[in-house]
Structure 1
């Protein structure tokens, strides 16, 4: 494996880790402008992280190892997934390990450790948030699996770099009924997994509506900084996965420095565009009632299932 492949893995981790707060700041700025406000600026999440890292760590009395280890594990799972998912290149030293099941398992592990931390805090809000989070995850994770699996059928493998490379060579797959259904299903799953409107509101602290915030209310200082960074990295990673699967053009498929640089620029542009669209949509969307969320996620699961069925029959017909 050439140095370009190793650089691609490092570049993916760095761009997700360093760019995640900027993406969050960009989305907040877009939303603020659409609402007629000036906004705090694109780099405000980095300022908040720096401020939290300078504070003294505080651990509530009675919490156990699950609460203390969750922030680091959340960031660690995001870092490993960022190295596996082909955001910049499909030709990396870890491409053979970037299986669909592994990537989804890493995302689910991050969700699980955060839910365990919410339970370990021993508070009513923590337990409530953990219960809601696992209810959402029970429908989101299968939807992500089926959405990508629909694209894996024509590719003949569940290896994500191979799926992306095949989509680059045969773009007609993405315009097929299976591709369109999988796109819609995965988009809804990304909204739910990252706690965005209409499933959750990332800026609320109302006990009747919050899911993610309820699990992290007891965190402070550096631990809260890691939790927020991990959530921002997951948003960037999932938007990057969405763009890599359904808008794969520009991703490097060979060991070339020029192709890798172009892929980096296009990745930043695609994720920024998706973030702006999501932020703009949140201005006009309303959060659905909590009891309606399973219906929304069940609908996305059915779309993913239809995508798999359509992909199977279309592959058989060809």
Structure 2
């Protein structure tokens, strides 16, 4: 594999790591403007992270290795997923290993690590958040698998770069019943996996409604910075996966530096647009009751199942 492919992988990971706080800042700013507030600025998450990195880490008494390892493992698994998913190019040294099941397993590993860290603290909130997180994950992961699997049937493989290349060569697949159903199912799954409204509210600290925040209440300093960075990276990777699968135009398919650079720019633009639309929509959405969340996720799973059925019987058309 050429040096351009290696550079493409490195650039993908670098853009995700460095750009994800800016995406979070953009979404907060859009939401603030929609609510009639000035907002703290797009770069505020970077300033928050810099402040946290300067603080002294605090480890609660009685916690074990799960609590200490979880933040780094969350960031590491998400970074590997960012390298595997064809965000800017399909011609990379890792394209052969970029399998759908592997990417979903990496994201699930980060969720499990954070849930174990919440249980490791021995607090009521940590256990509550871990239980809720695993409940959501048990419904979300199959939905992501089935939604992307519906697109893999016409391509004949679960390799993500090959699926994207197939969509580039046959864009009619994206407008097929299978493509539309898979888009809707994956969009709901992304909202649940990243803890966004209506499944979870990332800005709340109300005890009865917390999911993600309940697991990370005991973190402070650099550990909290890693947890926040990992959560923001997951949002960027999943939005990038959604954009790559259902709006793949601009993704490089060859070893051309200009094509890879264009792919990175378009990837950033597509993810920023999806983030802005999501932030604007959250202003008009209300968080659903916790006991209604399984119904919402079961509906998305049904959409994904219908997408697979449609793709199998209709051949993706």
After TM superposition, the score normalised by the length of structure 2 is: 0.99
Q: Deviations over 1:89-137 (max 9, x none)?
A: 0000000000000000000000000000000010000000000000000
Give the superposed CA RMSD. 0.7
Specify the SS of the correspondent of 2:198: coil
Query: Partner residue of 1:117?
Result: 117
Q: Aligned pair 1:132/2:132, yes or no?
A: yes
In the TM superposition, 1:211-290 aligns within 5 A as 211-290=211-290
Query: Partner residue of 2:9?
Result: 9
Tell me, in whole angstroms, the C-alpha distance in 2 between the residues paired with 1:249 and 1:3: 23
Tell me, in whole angstroms, the C-alpha distance in 2 between the residues paired with 1:6 and 1:33: 40
Specify the SS of the correspondent of 1:310: helix
Q: How many residue pairs get matched?
A: 317
Shift, 1:251, TM fit: 0.2
Query: Partner residue of 1:64?
Result: 64
Q: Deviations over 1:34-68 (max 9, x none)?
A: 00101000010000000000000100001110000
Tell me, in whole angstroms, the C-alpha distance in 1 between the residues paired with 2:187 and 2:121: 32
Runs of at least 5 residues in structure 2 that lack an aligned partner in the other structure = none
Query: Partner residue of 1:294?
Result: 294
Query: Partner residue of 1:36?
Result: 36
Specify the SS of the correspondent of 2:118: helix
Q: Deviations over 1:144-164 (max 9, x none)?
A: 000000000000000000000
Shift, 1:314, TM fit: 1.2
Specify the SS of the correspondent of 1:182: helix
Shift, 1:315, TM fit: 1.6
Tell me, in whole angstroms, the C-alpha distance in 2 between the residues paired with 1:13 and 1:183: 24
Query: Partner residue of 1:184?
Result: 184
Q: Deviations over 1:274-310 (max 9, x none)?
A: 0000000000000000000000000000000000000
Tell me, in whole angstroms, the C-alpha distance in 2 between the residues paired with 1:244 and 1:219: 34
Tell me, in whole angstroms, the C-alpha distance in 2 between the residues paired with 1:301 and 1:21: 30
Tell me, in whole angstroms, the C-alpha distance in 2 between the residues paired with 1:34 and 1:85: 32
Runs of at least 5 residues in structure 1 that lack an aligned partner in the other structure = none
Tell me, in whole angstroms, the C-alpha distance in 1 between the residues paired with 2:242 and 2:268: 13
Runs (4+) off by over 4 Å? none
